[in-house]
Chain A
Amino acid sequence: AQKVTQAQTEISVVEKEDVTLDCVYETRDTTYYLFWYKQPPSGELVFLIRRNSFDEQNEISGRYSWNFQKSTSSFNFTITASQVVDSAVYFCALIRTGRRALTFGSGTRLQVQP
């Protein structure tokens, strides 16, 4: 079985603060992919990043960075100098070999106050 846990239901920060969204996953497979999606208030789901299980390099894209640690089965997402436009629900997801669907976490709602 596979499972994704996003323990933080809701986070509220003030603009320009850094914020980290946690994602912990469970899978017995050695080959799998992890994803992050953003769901802004308008409701659509926006793909942010994909990472395979063999690549533990951290990734940075502008103000966004991701920390993948297989030892702790975590794939955390950090937003540096948060902005109001970052307010959204963020989903972490996992897919392993042979599966036909992503397994999503329950999401973390981030509110960035001006």
Chain B
Amino acid sequence: EAQVTQNPRYLITVTGKKLTVTCSQNMNHEYMSWYRQDPGLGLRQIYYSMNVEVTDKGDVPEGYKVSRKEKRNFPLILESPSPNQTSLYFCASSLLGQAGRLLNSPLHFGNGTRLTVT
């Protein structure tokens, strides 16, 4: 079954304790991305990757790191989590269209990771 798998689903941690949220897709998609969802703000992009070893910042990258060593995996790393990073996180993937454009392909989202930082 084609899917984007995120783990864990729920995570409660304390300020400053490094954590990693994993994301894996089995659709051979070039593009992967992380979003965070906050009430009243919709979804905002944190980081994205157009292919292996190619990553770039989204709209709200502060406090996050990512890596793309393999095509299928795109982990999100919080080196020193803070309470303002309490949020619902989504990983997404997509094919790239003509000329490497992310224009008309729908994003496939994982089921989300609800992170609470105390």
Residues of A that sit less than 8 Å from B by CB: 4, 9, 31-33, 35, 37, 42-45, 47, 50, 52, 91, 93, 95-102, 104-107
Assuming the A-B contacts A33-B103, A95-B103, are A101 and B109 also in contact, with contact meaning beta carbons closer than 8 angstroms in the complex?
Answer: no
Answer whether residue B68 sits at the interface, using C-beta atoms and an 8 A cutoff. Answer: no
Cα A4 to Cα B110 in complex, Å, equals 23
Cα A35 to Cα B40 in complex, Å, equals 18
Q: When the two chains form their complex, are residues A101 and B103 in contact, meaning their CB atoms are under 8 A apart?
A: no
For the complex formed, measure the closest distance between the CB of B66 and the CB atoms of chain A, giving whole angstroms: 13
**Which A residues lie within 8 Å of B43 (CB)?**
91, 93, 102, 104
Q: When the two chains form their complex, are residues B101 and A44 in contact, meaning their CB atoms are under 8 A apart?
A: no
Tell me which of A42, A47, A100, A104 contacts B42 (CB under 8 A). A104
Q: When the two chains form their complex, are residues B107 and A47 in contact, meaning their CB atoms are under 8 A apart?
A: yes
Q: When the two chains form their complex, are residues B102 and A107 in contact, meaning their CB atoms are under 8 A apart?
A: no
Sample of 20 more A-B contacts, CB < 8 Å, known A9-B40, A35-B106, A47-B107: A31-B103, A32-B103, A33-B103, A37-B109, A42-B111, A44-B110, A45-B90, A47-B109, A91-B42, A91-B43, A95-B102, A97-B101, A98-B101, A99-B102, A100-B48, A100-B50, A101-B45, A102-B45, A104-B42, A107-B42
